[in-house]
Structures are given as C-alpha cells and as structure tokens.
Chain A
C-alpha cells in the first residue's frame, strides 16, 4: 500500500497541490533536501501530462498519484486512464513527449507503461530512511 495516495479532477489548478503533497511526503520519507526540487518538478510534469491527456480524452476520470517509501527509495506513480498515449499536449512549442523527456532528465529511475487502459509513470529517488519508517 502506498504511503500517501491522492486522486484529483484533471484540472491544471490541482497540479500545484500534487507537487506540494509529493514534496512534503518526500521530505518526510528522508529524501535529501537537494533532491526535493527535482521531485517537485518531475511530479508536476507527470501530473501536467496526465491532466492534459484526461481533459482531451476522458475528463471525468481522475489523475491518480501514489507516493510510497520503501527499501530506501521514495517512489512516485502517476496514473491516468485516458486510454490514449498521444504524448504531452500542454506545451505546443515542443514536440509530444517533451514533459516526459524532462522527467527522464530529473529522476534517475523512470518507467513508463502505456497500455490501452492509459499511462503510468513511475519514478523514484533515494531516501535516507530504512524501509517503512517515516521521519518525525
């Protein structure tokens, strides 16, 4: 089970909330302060992409965010059920997938699963705490 789970209506205004929650949980999970900006940005990119996909194809479905601390890693999974995999529509000055390219430049471990049911972006960073323990 994830340490913290969040789901939100696919509206751009909620992406900031997702970033703030992810950074707060990352800090409590022992992710180094120097990495928090990367977590914030990568989670924002993943959620922005999911919001744009869902708004285009499936606006009643939520963006799902799962934040998990395990085995010295802080893992983030952003999932949408847009049933399309057409890449980032949010930055028209760039080719599709630019947001994902930014994520790949930020997280040292990124896995992207695109299925007929939607897209899942899983990324992780090292955390200092042993498995299952949270900072006070």
Chain B
C-alpha cells in the first residue's frame, strides 16, 4: 500500500487526509505537502491518520517538523487517530504529550476552536 494524500478546508482549518504507509520511502511526500500548506498560509492543520496502516520514526519526524513549522506562525497541528498500532509508537516516543490526538476530525476542530 502506497501513500495517498489529500487535503480540504473545514471551519477554517486545513484537514490533511493520509492513507497507507508512512515510512522512509513515502514520508518525504507528506513532508512536502505540509511545507506547501504552511508556505501557502495554512497554519491550522489537522492530520487525519485514521487510514494510516504503518508509521515509523521517519513519519514521526515529518509530523514533528510540521508542528515546528506551524508553531513558528502561532499555528497548530493536531492528529486524528484511534488505531492502537499507530498510537503505540506515539506513546513509546513520548509524543502523546506533544501532539493533540483526537478520535474524530470534528472533535479535533472543536478542541482547536475552544483553545482560541
């Protein structure tokens, strides 16, 4: 399974839909998309990982890199993920404390709006 990327706006927040495997081969494409979005002025991001089947440390590095970029513009990068296999790597690496991780896109949007 390759990586499929898509994005759309919802309630003023850019939702990035990721499907497939994020690894050393595919992660550069996600990195480029996140950089493009920030360069185009999208600083409030939600990455929907519900259809991600595999994530390694390269993928984590891309997400942390994206978070650093949006934070440089007072933005945010939240995640949507309920899959235990994916959540486990966030827990092992302590990144559950760095990212807001939500069960649904709507929940992520609501949480972000309430912090404004």
Contact = CB atoms under 8 A, between A and B. Distances in A.
A44 B62 contact: no
Contacts, number: 67
What interface size band does chain A fall in?
20 to 34
A121 to B, nearest CB: 14
Given A48-B58, A90-B57, A91-B58, A105 B92 contact: yes
A45 interface: yes
Interface stretch (A10-18, A64-72, A74-82, A109-117): A10-18
Interface stretch (B19-27, B44-52, B74-82, B104-112): B19-27
State which size class the interface on B falls in.
10 to 19
B24 A105 contact: no
Interface in B36-81: 54, 56-58, 60-62, 64-65, 68
Contact of B57 (A13, A16, A98): A98
B114 interface: no
Contacts of A91: 57-58, 60-61
Contacts of A88: 57
Nearest to B68: A93
Interface in A4-30: 12-13, 15-16, 19
A116 to B, nearest CB: 25
B13 interface: no
Contacts of B61: 90-94, 98
B60 A90 contact: no
A51 B64 CA distance: 22
A102 B93 contact: yes
Interface in A83-108: 88, 90-94, 98-99, 101-102, 105-106
Interface of A: 12-13, 15-16, 19, 37, 40-41, 44-45, 48, 51-52, 88, 90-94, 98-99, 101-102, 105-106
Given A13-B25, A48-B24, A102-B57, 10 more contacts: A41-B56, A88-B57, A90-B24, A90-B58, A90-B61, A93-B61, A93-B62, A99-B56, A102-B92, A102-B93
23 contacts: A12-B23, A12-B25, A13-B25, A15-B23, A15-B24, A16-B25, A37-B88, A41-B54, A41-B56, A44-B24, A44-B56, A48-B24, A48-B58, A90-B57, A91-B57, A91-B60, A93-B61, A93-B64, A93-B68, A94-B64, A98-B57, A101-B93, A105-B93
